[in-house]
Amino acid sequence: MASLSELGLIELPEVHGAAGTFAGDQHWLAQADAVVVAVAPPGPGEDGIDPRPGAADVAARYGIDLVDLAARHRLSGKAGESAVLDLPRPLPGRDFGWGDLPGRLVVLGVGDAGPAAMRKVGSALCRATVGLGTVVTTVGTLAGRTGLAALLEGFWLTAYRGPWRGQSTRPGTPAASRLVLLGNDGDDDAIAATRTAATATVRARFLAATPSDVKTPQWLAEQALALAAGLPGVSVEVHDDAWIRRQGMGALLAVGSASATPPRLVTVTYAPSSRGSGRTVALVGKGITFDTGGISIKPRDAMVGMKTDMAGAAAVLATVLAAAELQLPHRVVGVLALAENAVGASSYRPGDVVRAYDGTTIEVSNTDAEGRMVLADAMAWVRDTERPDVLVDVATLTGAVTLGLGRTHAGLYSTDDALAAALEAAGEHSGERAWRLPLVESYRAGLDSSVADISHQSRDPHVMGGSITAALFLQHFAGDTPWAHLDIAGAGRATKARDEIPEGPTGYGARILLRWLADLT
C-alpha cells in the first residue's frame, strides 16, 4: 500500500523571523522574489486606505503611489484583499540606495489585524505568491504573537495540497518555498509552535482525503505507527479483530463485520518525561474508513464523500503527535476506533442487539448510525483501562448538526461546564469554532428499547434533534468521567474552498484540541 509520502504529503514552506525593516535590510531583499506590504481601512472620516508601517515607503521606492494603486485595484483595506504587481527585473531601487528590487510587489488588506483577519491575510499572501522562492514582508509585526500565529496558520494551511495518484504532473502550483518575516526575529518559538499546529491540521486533512481503496483500517493503523516512529514519549499499539473480540467489543465488531478489511483499535499514547501536575486526557476518534451505510445503505450522492468519515480519528492522531512535539505536560491517550461500514452477507442488521465492551446491550435500528457504535466501545474501554481525568470524543457523527450549525462550527456537548467553556475558548483562539448544544434530558426516553439496555437511535418519531440524541447515547458510555463530544460532520468537510479551508476535508479538530491541551491546567 502507498505511504503518505508516495501519495504526495509535503513539508510546509519554510518561515523565518528576521531582524530589520524594508529600509534597513538589504540581505533579504536581495534574495527576494516578492515583497509584501499591508494596508488597512481608513480611519473615521477619512478616505482611501491606511498604509501600515513601511508600506508607503516601499511603494515610493518602486515609484508607485500607494493611494492611487489602491483606488485602481479597488482596495479598501479589508482583510484578505490583494493587489499584485509584476515588474521587470532588474528593477533598480531608484535613488534610495536599495539595489535591485524584487520583481513582485503585493499589497494586502489586513482589516483590523485581529486573529480572524490575519488568518485571511495569511491565506491571501500564500495565494498571491505561489510558485515563488523567497517572499519578504513585515506583516507579521502588526498584531502581536496571536496575530502572527493566525497569519502563519492562514499561510501554511493554504499551502496544503491533497493526495495525488495520477500519472501526470501534480496539478496546481506550490506555495512560495520561503517566507521571511522582517521584524519578527524574536518570535522563533511562536513560529515553531504554529508550524506544529498547522502540520497537525495538514496531516488530518491528508489522511481524510486519502481514497478508501488505499485507506483500510490496517493501512491507517500503519500510518499511525509510521508517523509516531522516533517521536520521544509516544507509543502506538495496534489491536486486531481477534483482540477486539476477546475484549468483548461487540459494537465495533458489528460495524466492521461485512468488510474484507477487519476493524482495528489503535492507541497512540504520549507520556511526557515529567508530568508534574499534568493530567491524563483520553481523546477518542471515530475512524470509519469508508461508510456505505451498511444494509441501511446511503444514496449515491451521500456516499461519495465517505472516505472522510474517519476525520475524527485523523484529528485525534494528529493532536497526540503534536502534543508530543510541543512537549505538553499532560499524558494524552488517543484511541482510534477503525472500521469500514460495508455491505455483505455478514453485515449487521437493523433489529440486531449487540453487546458493548462495558456489557451494555444496544438495539440497532439503523446501520448507517455506525459512528456512535464504534465510539461506544472505544469510550467505555479507555475509561475502564486508563481512568482518564477527562474524555473528549471527535466524530463526523450526524448530518443533523450540519442542518443546525452549517459548516463553520462543530456541535459541542459536555457534561462539564468548565470543560465546555475551555473548548469554546480554544475554538475561538484556533479558528476552529464550536457551539455548545444542550443534552436535553427529556429526549433521553427516546433511546429506550424493549429488547436491550439502550437503542442507538431515538425511537420516538416526535423527538427530532438527531445530533442531540446521538450525544445522549454517547454520554451513557462516558460514565461519570468529565466528557465532551465534538460533532464535526459539518465543520470537518467543506463543500467549497474559502480562505485557508480547502474543498473537502478541513482537518477540523486538531487545532482546537491542541490549543485546549496547551491551556489545560
Q: Which three cell numbers stand for residue 493?
A: 468537510
**The one catalytic residue among 78, 145, 245, 298:** 298
DSSP character at residue 442? G
**Edge-to-edge strands of the sheet including 280-291?**
234-239, 264-270, 331-341, 280-291, 390-395, 483-487, 409-414, 433-436
- Provide, for the chain, the percentages of residues in helix, strand and coil under a 3-state DSSP scheme, each rounded to the nearest 5: 35, 20, 45
DSSP per residue, 326-373: TT-SSEEEEEEEEEEE--STT---TT-EEE-TTS-EEE-S-TT--HHH
The CA distance from 364 to 372, in Å, is 11
DSSP per residue, 185-210: TT-HHHHHHHHHHHHHHHHHHHHHHS
Q: Enumerate the β-bridge partners of residue 178.
A: 14, 134
* Residue 298 a catalytic site member: yes
Q: Measured at the alpha carbon of residue 494, what is the angle toward residues 491 and 496, in degrees to the nearest 5?
A: 150
**The one catalytic residue among 203, 372, 407, 493:** 372
Q: Which of 235, 512, 515, 473 is nearest to 377 (CA)?
A: 473
The CA distance from 435 to 144, in Å, is 27
321 contacts: CB under 8 Å, gap ≥ 6: 200, 203, 227, 228, 231, 234, 268, 270
* Residue 355 a catalytic site member: no
Q: Which of 162, 201, 204 is nearest to 336 (CA)?
A: 204
β-pairing verdict for 361-363 and 331-341: unpaired
The CA distance from 66 to 72, in Å, is 10
DSSP character at residue 166? -
* Burial (CB count <10 Å: 0-12, 13-18, 19+), residue 46: exposed
Q: Which residues are catalytic?
A: 298, 372
